[in-house]
Chain A
Amino acid sequence: MNLPRVAAYFPAFAKGYLRNPLGLFMSLIFPIILILIFGAVFSNSGVSAVPLTVQNLDGGSAASQQFLAALNATGAVSITLVSPSVGNLSAYISHHSLTAGLVIPAGFGAALANHTPVSVLVYTNPSAGSAAGVVQGAVQGVVNGLNLRLAGGSVVVSTIQLNVGSVLYTYIDYLVPGLIGFSVLVAPMFSMVNISSTWKRDKLFRQLSLTPLTRGEWLTATLLWYVLLAITSALLLLGIGAAVFGAHVTLTWMTLPILVFGPMLFVAIGLLAGTVSNTPESAGVIGNIITFPMMFLSGTFFPVSLFPSWLVPIARALPLYYVIEGLNASMVFDNPSLALNDTLIVLVLAVAFSIVAVRAFTWRED
């Protein structure tokens, strides 16, 4: 690896890219258009039901079931039950970046039967804004009704409000990392598939092979360009998301590795797709078959947590899922361990695909 040659080739590649309006449009402009459209359409519409994670430590009792049924009937919250075995719900909510939680304590049913005071725990965050209020209001409403019925208004059941220390996320908070993931995917995929197939047809790799530039140096310079594009796109989306829609996203030190390994992964996949196809046309088709499912099913436009459950395993099988989950974990949820986990998955995939792509990619003909 000769760095002066990488440095010599890099600006030539960049010029070629920048002078072609389509490439720049797909990698930088298009994601901005998307954030403006999706942000405007979805940011202001109220969420119909606030997700509420419930841990029922008194699962056997009919009273706890009735309580939850009443809560569900308010329509204000949508309940997801978690097992008592997950342990401390506050930690669980933090770790999974959930909106709000409710714990029904053990002995809840017995307490009600004996009219002894008992408390349910509600975890929300003041910064959750209206969603926190919705949860508190719904729980308090059901509790009040219960007290009225049980004891003619005297307080038997009370709620305890607790902060879980995590912020509540709005749609735009998911959209920013999702669209950064979109750029990380789309910029290298579309142009690498095109480059590796048309340059082969036009004998441009042959032309490069007549110079001292090696394939490794070529790939390094090319990758550097897509990393630069990904970082630029991330900064633009972050800025627009925060300035226009008030997104709560921050760059952390864990964001950078994903913005390096993500492009590396898709440069390798794009190179491979273009290299194995015989014509630029078939390369384009293969590229689209790979790109489009990832573009929609990896949490780019909507968080995977909103997907129907049968779609989730499919999403998790797509490499982009881990890029976007990692970006969410690092930029939104400040969850370094999850971000690290995703980064490692992306790194392993990137290295594996790079090895295969470099093996398949030759400059000289036999």
Chain B
Amino acid sequence: MPETIAVSKLVKAYGDLHAVDGVDFTVNSGEVFAFLGPNGAGKTTTVEILEGLRRRTAGEVRVLGRDPWTEAGRLKRRIGVIPQDFQFFPKLSPREAIQLYARLFAVRVDPEALLAEVELSDKANDHYDTLSGGQRQKVGVALALVNDPELCFLDEPTTGLDPRARRSIWEVIRRLRSEGRTVFLTTHYLDEAQQLSDRIAIINLGKIIATGAPDEIIGRFGRPARLRITGDPALVTHLTERGFRATATNGGAEVELRSKADALAVVNAVAGSGLRWEGFSTRSDTLEDVFIHLVGRLEEGSMRALDEREANR
């Protein structure tokens, strides 16, 4: 599969601070790639380097086969961008903004269709400075699509949107993917990444700590699935005696499942115990659990790294 974005050993230093510190990843054509990370991880810095808005300190970057810094002029006709904290000219309306972009890109677009797509038709003629935060973000989405881009960079496109507006942006992203466009998405919302993306990279303190499809990452870094039994607390001892890894929960026990067959064995053991039980449920890690686990585990180490950075100044 052709690589739409190829990044290797990318470094961006702001003075002594390595905001991006040796990052490698590739994004394939036609996929939705999500870049996840806590605040200050280096997501925006990376995206801006890919968009040609920021110069890199070191490393190799190719976007659609071009160097985004030196060939930004050619690239911008093929990419669509919603920057983080998108802002626009306060006294222009969404319709005028789209018309301006269409004329600058010398493309034909139907402003009404584009406005309808981002659910902004009712605000088509209102000045940008009278729009709500979410409505402004939708203007950004519409503008990113004016030039019919092959590759879209969306830096936290749904931050600050209400649940319905978030879903309408999700629909846009799904449609972009179904049209064969590549989407590079950064987000804080793990459910969003899990639902929308083909592949994910988790970045923390300028370094990538996990990449892969959401399920792969959960499989690799998540805890095994667990079977939860509500009932007699004595079930914990009963199950442990039979070789299961059981822990107490309030109102029952939880057993770690090492294989699918485990589940049946546990159920049989519970049924045969003669102890009181009310129900079973299974629980497996979500991306969010994995993220908290991965980033949290790094947190102590990171604090030390930050202290060292400060000391070196």
**A202–B53 touching, CB < 8 Å:** no
Segment of B103-111, B201-209, B217-225, B296-304 in the binding face:
B103-111
**B101–A211 touching, CB < 8 Å:** yes
Instruction: Name B105's contact: one of A20, A207, A209, A212 (CB within 8 Å).
Output: A212
Instruction: Name B55's contact: one of A9, A12, A207, A366 (CB within 8 Å).
Output: A366
Instruction: Name B90's contact: one of A16, A213, A365 (CB within 8 Å).
Output: A16
Residues of B within 8 A of A366 (CB): 54-55
**B104–A15 touching, CB < 8 Å:** no
| Least distance between A3 CB and chain B CB atoms (Å) | 12
Asked whether any CB of chain A lies closer than 8 Å to the CB of B127, the reply is: yes
Residues of A within 8 A of B103 (CB): 4-5, 8
Per DSSP, chain B at the interface is loop
Asked whether any CB of chain B lies closer than 8 Å to the CB of A206, the reply is: yes
**A210–B89 touching, CB < 8 Å:** no
**B81–A202 touching, CB < 8 Å:** no
- Give the docked Cα–Cα distance between A9 and B96 (Å): 11
| Least distance between B73 CB and chain A CB atoms (Å) | 8
- Give the docked Cα–Cα distance between A12 and B88 (Å): 12
Instruction: Name B100's contact: one of A9, A19, A203 (CB within 8 Å).
Output: A9
**A12–B100 touching, CB < 8 Å:** yes
Residues of A within 8 A of B83 (CB): 203, 206-207, 210
Asked whether any CB of chain A lies closer than 8 Å to the CB of B237, the reply is: no
**A9–B72 touching, CB < 8 Å:** no
Asked whether any CB of chain A lies closer than 8 Å to the CB of B85, the reply is: yes
Residues of B within 8 A of A16 (CB): 89-92
- Give the docked Cα–Cα distance between A269 and B93 (Å): 30
**B87–A8 touching, CB < 8 Å:** no
Instruction: Name A15's contact: one of B81, B85, B91 (CB within 8 Å).
Output: B91
Q: How many A-B residue pairs lie within 8 Å, measured between CB atoms?
A: 67
Asked whether any CB of chain B lies closer than 8 Å to the CB of A29, the reply is: no
| Least distance between B88 CB and chain A CB atoms (Å) | 7
Instruction: Name A20's contact: one of B54, B76, B85, B91 (CB within 8 Å).
Output: B91
The verdict on A211 contacting B104 (CB below 8 Å), with A15-B91, A203-B87, A365-B53 known, is yes
Q: Nearest CB to that of B55 among chain A residues?
A: A366
Q: Nearest CB to that of B89 among chain A residues?
A: A16
| Least distance between A365 CB and chain B CB atoms (Å) | 6
- Give the docked Cα–Cα distance between A213 and B73 (Å): 10
| Least distance between A217 CB and chain B CB atoms (Å) | 9
Interface residues on B, range: 20 to 34
Instruction: Name A204's contact: one of B54, B72, B88, B106 (CB within 8 Å).
Output: B88
Which of chain A's residues 4-57 have a Cβ closer than 8 Å to chain B?
A: 4-5, 8-9, 12, 15-16, 19-20
Asked whether any CB of chain A lies closer than 8 Å to the CB of B52, the reply is: yes
Asked whether any CB of chain B lies closer than 8 Å to the CB of A96, the reply is: no
**A207–B77 touching, CB < 8 Å:** no
| Least distance between A290 CB and chain B CB atoms (Å) | 26
The verdict on A210 contacting B55 (CB below 8 Å), with A4-B106, A202-B87, A204-B87 known, is no
- Give the docked Cα–Cα distance between A231 and B55 (Å): 42
**A207–B88 touching, CB < 8 Å:** yes
Instruction: Name B53's contact: one of A15, A19, A204, A206 (CB within 8 Å).
Output: A206
Instruction: Name B85's contact: one of A4, A203, A212 (CB within 8 Å).
Output: A203
Q: Nearest CB to that of A210 among chain B residues?
A: B81
Q: Nearest CB to that of A13 among chain B residues?
A: B89
- Give the docked Cα–Cα distance between A9 and B104 (Å): 7
Which of chain B's residues 84-128 have a Cβ closer than 8 Å to chain A?
A: 85-92, 96, 100-101, 103-106, 127
Residues of B within 8 A of A9 (CB): 100, 104
Residues of A within 8 A of B101 (CB): 211
**A211–B96 touching, CB < 8 Å:** no
**B76–A210 touching, CB < 8 Å:** yes
Residues of B within 8 A of A213 (CB): 104
Asked whether any CB of chain A lies closer than 8 Å to the CB of B51, the reply is: yes
| Least distance between B256 CB and chain A CB atoms (Å) | 49
- Give the docked Cα–Cα distance between A271 and B85 (Å): 24
What are 22 A-B pairs with beta-carbon distances under 8 A?
A4-B106, A5-B103, A8-B104, A15-B92, A16-B91, A16-B92, A19-B91, A20-B91, A203-B87, A204-B89, A206-B53, A206-B83, A207-B83, A207-B87, A210-B76, A210-B81, A211-B76, A211-B105, A212-B106, A213-B104, A364-B52, A364-B55
Report, nearest first, the 4 A-B pairs whose CB atoms are least far apart: A8-B103, A19-B91, A211-B104, A16-B91
List 12 other contacts, CB 8 Å, given A5-B104, A16-B91, A16-B92. Answer: A4-B106, A9-B104, A12-B92, A15-B91, A203-B83, A203-B87, A204-B88, A209-B72, A212-B105, A213-B104, A364-B53, A365-B54
